[in-house]
Amino acid sequence: MQETNLYSKIIAGTMTWGSWGKQLSKPQMIDLMNYCLEIGITTFDHADIYGDYSMEKDFGAAFGESGIERSKIQLISKCGIQMTSGRNNAVAHYQYDAAYIIWSAEQSLKKLKTEYLDLLLIHRPSPLMVADEIAEAIQKLKADGKIKEFGVSNFTPSQIAMLETKIPVSINQVEFSLTHDIPMYDGTFDDCLANNRIAMAWSPLGNFFRAENDRNTRIKNVLKDLEKKYDANTSQLILAFIMNHPAKVFPVVGTTSKQRLKDSLNATNINLELQDWFILLEASKGEPVP
């Protein structure tokens, strides 16, 4: 597995900072950025579509006035989803021709007030994507110093293999949590481990706090004892579960709460005992591990 100091172990997800969530003001965004840096969260995850294409601009305006040195942070963005809201599209779709990818990345740079992205991700796979087109765009963006690394989000191993006939893929960011553990079984993390690919996880707490169901009740009952044993709260243990996977997953944490951000960072120090990890897995599955 690739070891990197480029990204902070906890990544701050910005999707709900703006109009899709907390609607933070510019001073509030500046304050939150500075707090993240104070505690050691230096990586910020974006996508062009967040806030109906407005979040990057709002973040960039705050960053531009924050006084934070660009070299002190890492900026991730994604491109390729064309929505009907925020743009004059007749239908939601994906667009991955070389010219569009370059244009989209350049728009992100302009909005974020930066000369480069540390990482650009293709947001979701399209049935019409052509590896040559994507490779052409990424090679041009790298050559021009506009992106440092290239990766994908929500891709299967076979889709990555198709792209890698033309361009190396450094990272795959996928949905992964105690309540959504598919990447452990569909080859996604096997691919990361086998190919020295970084794994990132969006929605790392899953639906635990959003849904009342039998699975979450089982998990809650197990966590009561583990919270005492590890002197940790529920969120920290759920994060520890995914970070204890051999793929060394980087969680993208979407909270704007300072306390929850600090708790998330502290979760990186929790080493779950082997049987406790499987106790959580069993609670999630609702049956003994076969």
pLDDT at 204: 98
Identified catalytic residue from 7, 35, 50, 53 = 50
- What count of other Cβ atoms lies within 10 Å of the Cβ of residue 8? 20
pLDDT at 220: 97
Burial class (CB in 10 A: 0-12, 13-18, 19+), 134: buried
- In sequence order, what are the residues at sequence separation of 6 or more whose Cβ sits closer than 8 angstroms to the Cβ of residue 118? 6, 7, 43, 74, 75, 76, 147, 148, 149
pLDDT at 3: 43
Which tokens is 169 given?
A: 């893929």
Which tokens is 279 given?
A: 């106790």
DSSP 126: -
Series of mean pLDDT values for 10-residue runs along the chain (290 residues):
72 98 98 98 98 97 98 98 95 98 98 98 98 98 98 98 98 98 98 98 97 96 97 98 98 98 98 98 94
Look at residue 176 and give its three-state secondary structure: coil
pLDDT at 289: 87
Answer for the pair 24, 256: CB distance below 8 angstroms, yes or no.
yes
pLDDT at 41: 98
Which tokens is 113 given?
A: 């007030």
What are the backbone angles phi and psi of residue 191, rounded to the nearest 5°? -65, -45
Does the active-site annotation cover 96?
Answer: no
- CA 146, CA 247: separation in Å to the nearest integer? 28
Q: Which residue shows structure tokens 């933070």?
A: 24
Answer for the pair 223, 237: CB distance below 8 angstroms, yes or no.
yes
